[in-house]
Structure 1
């Protein structure tokens, strides 16, 4: 097994030529690097030194050297940063010279600097992942949300939730150990109230995480509906591009088409799908199957129908195709072609869905749709306290939710303090998977392998 204490080195700037190139070194050989490259025994910590950089005892460049001694550094180890000119050959010469002439120093693995920061308890796993989110952010909101994650807003939520769990566990253990002669039923009622508070808090966290995933991956809107209802025309209008082919022939769109737009710096993926209808055409059938695969992973469903459709037929379409998604995914019904029915453009809010009447052809009522997207979709997912999130967080939170629901049900039936105490222990263990307190080595390697080498 490789030594954990190997000093690591990597370029922290992207490949290619640039005005500046940064080399980062972390570990106990930093002092040796200072002596070898700078020809100095010591440099003042946290101070920008403009110095010559040596290669085989000759000055190869001049640049900035910064020293961050342990434990008050990003990795918790000694860190040296060398800022030279951004020539790839120059950077490679310096790195190779350091590796060849100093023992126990090697090129860092992807994400290893961040991994060491995590292992040295400088950050938790969610904060480490936030670094990758900042680098890959594709919108202004994503940048600020990733920064919120890095600053620990999610970690604090999880900490408060964990403290509630610990508080309940302590009360139960204390009662079992010392107060068993007290009124058992009153104590159980108090515990059940605490469990309901815990569930309420958990639902709040889950909503934050759902929004965080949307910010990281973008909001997804799937357009579905019968053939010739105007889905493809609406797609082209929303994206302001000729993405979809538009004809009067039913079944023109037979595959799934994607296009990304940005609204107030928020990425939205619009998905055009095959028209849903009974058909024996094998290609259309495949396209319709793909439609429902997309619906399973969407944030919003836009059901596009002709305004001429009767309420009965509309209800049949909803019942046949969207029954399993009611109350799970918001459904917006777009009644298109009001230019034919001579109806007014308007928005109607019903119990289970929203209806928007418009005409794609005449662009009448389109402002109603765009305002709805801005106010009800973008603003709903736009929160200054929001943080980016990953599906692995949701996996753990879903497990916690199931454990808590099942634990409450069993507790109401049995009033077994021992069983609910065990459920709470398992919930706490699942919670610690998110922050990385209890995380398998394989998961850690998988997470950090997706980082840049210099991070």
Structure 2
């Protein structure tokens, strides 16, 4: 890559004044920097030196200097770090002086991480993890980003990839050499492997979906008929008076949101307009927004009155909500047990978890909160979880659809030649996730979102 001919420099600490400022330099001109700024010909690698920093012929500061020679450095190139006082003027003077050395320029956003990727020190998912660590908004997100950086996702993909590679080797060997193998038995084994691939892929997709939730937060949307208690529940869960509460049906007409943390996991609680038949144009718009919000949710809490008949409950589920419940888990909350004299409990009806409670008397609220912690947060937050990005989901969805199509075609035709080509294309898409096969445009888009100095 042309720009890697240059040695790059950037401030690694945030802009503004601080007690310490760090300048990072990477490339083959590091020795020139040592001679120019430190007035030395050599310093011991991987050792903290306390040395004066020169600007022209004057000492302008003293600080810590660290040298990491290639290839055992973050970028795979020679890296020099200067740790001085955090004066903006001081840092600017040092950087402006260093870039006068021929072959040295200011780094582009994310260029240090990009060079680490290009020099095969990390794969693309691990590079993205660095950005996730910096932007983590919760303890769970931080630990998940560290898991991504440590290669948890890469290992899953590698295991999946190895199955594809082994299958491709078997097929190519069968095609290239006159192997004395029963064709029917050979095809039967391939079908078993394809089934195994699909099961593994589904597990990987679940990990990735959970990773998105941890990074961006878990979205829980409250839905249900008017006056069922959605707004009151919103206020209780968030411990704030966010939603206006009245006995008038249709009070909530717009989407109300509040972000909270439960067990260090970010949760977005969304209150929506009550679902009912109405002629009020403003209320109709609110209900339309409710349905849009449902499609963006990770979990739905259907809040109904405990006295609702089974027939009316099924109408809501099977008629009004049916098309939204294909991939989104829903929990039924039967509120107002103070009016039906039922006890707080968790049951399973129509394959949906049902929680009976009374928002008015605060009965069953602890059941609900424990359910959120144990069944929603815990499920989406385990020690092996890693953060994820939409591009992972897009690639895995493409692979899943392609694999399904390939499996159906092979079952129908037993054509190992066509399957071989399909597996090659699947492998290519898989490699694009980790960066073994990646377009320059994708790399530019990914690393341009990093801060300068990373």
TM range (shorter): over 0.9
- State the shift of 1:2 in Å: 5.5
Summarize deviations over 1:322-357 as a string: whole Å, max 9, x none: 212334111101111112222211111235211111
Name the SS for the 1:361 alignment partner: coil
- Paired position in structure 2 for 1:391: 390
The count of residues paired between Structure 1 and Structure 2 equals: 454
- 2:202 is aligned to 203
Q: Distance in 2 between matches of 1:446 and 1:286?
A: 37
**Other-structure match for 2:80:** 80
1:242 equivalenced with 2:275 (yes/no): no
Partner of 2:300: 301
**Alignment TM-score, normalising by the size of structure 2:** 0.97
Instruction: Quote the offset at 1:76 in angstroms.
Output: 0.8
Which residue number in structure 1 is paired with residue 126 of structure 2? 127
Q: Greater shift after overlay, 318-327 or 26-35?
A: 318-327
CA distance in 1, matches of 2:102, 2:275: 66
Q: In 2, distance between residues paired with 1:61 and 1:286?
A: 64
SS of 1:409's partner is helix
Conserved? CA contact 1:228–1:275, under 8 Å: yes
2:437 alignment counterpart = 438
Partner of 1:402: 401
The corresponding residue for 2:252 is: 253
Q: Any idea what the Cα deviations from partners look like across 1:66-96, whole Å, max 9, x if unmatched?
A: 0111111101111111101111121111111
CA–CA distance in 2 between the matches of 1:344 and 1:151?
48
In structure 2, what is the equivalent of residue 427 of structure 1?
426
Render the CA deviation track for 1:218-261: whole Å, top value 9, x for unaligned. Answer: 11101111111111110110000111121222222121111111
Displacement of 1:180: 5.8
Shift of the alpha carbon at 1:426?
1.1
* Matched position secondary structure for 2:378: helix
User: What's 2:360 paired with?
Assistant: 361
1:147 corresponds to 2:146: yes
Aligned to 1:47: 47
Task: Note the 1:19-418 alignment, pairs <5 A.
Answer: 19-99=19-99, 101-179=100-178, 182-418=181-417
Work out the CA distance in 1 between the residues paired with 2:60 and 2:171. Answer: 68
Deviates more, 1:165-174 or 1:136-145: 136-145
Give the Cα separation in 2 of the matches to 1:446 and 1:248. Answer: 51
SS in 2 for 1:3: helix
Superposed CA offset, 1:4-50 (max 9, x none)? 31111111111122211111111111111111111111111111000
CA contact (8 A) 1:139 1:266 kept: yes
Q: Structure 1 unaligned segments of length 5 or more: list them.
A: none
Q: Distance in 1 between matches of 2:270 and 2:82?
A: 46
- In the aligned structure 1, how far is the partner of 2:108 from the partner of 2:282? 46
Q: Secondary structure at the match of 1:298?
A: coil
Question: What TM-score, normalized to structure 1?
Answer: 0.97
Q: What's the CA shift for 1:388? A: 0.8
CA spacing shift, 1:370–1:405, aligned 2, 3 Å: same
Alpha-carbon offset, residue 433 of structure 1: 1.0
Shift of residue 181, structure 1, vs aligned partner: 5.6
Give unpaired runs (5+ residues) of structure 2.
none
Decide whether the 8 Å contact of 1:21 with 1:84 is kept in 2. Answer: yes
Q: Secondary structure at the match of 1:62?
A: strand
CA distance in 2, matches of 1:105, 1:310: 75
What is the aligned partner in structure 1 of residue 9 from structure 2? 9
The structure 1 segments of at least 4 consecutive aligned residues displaced by more than 4 Å after TM superposition are none
The two structures, once aligned, show a CA RMSD in angstroms of 1.3
Distance 1:341 1:104, change over 3 A: same
Q: What SS class does the counterpart of residue 131 from structure 1 fall into? A: helix
CA distance in 1, matches of 2:166, 2:350: 39
Cα-to-partner distance string for 1:151-207 (whole Å, 9 max, x where unaligned): 111111111111100100110111122236632111100111111111111111111
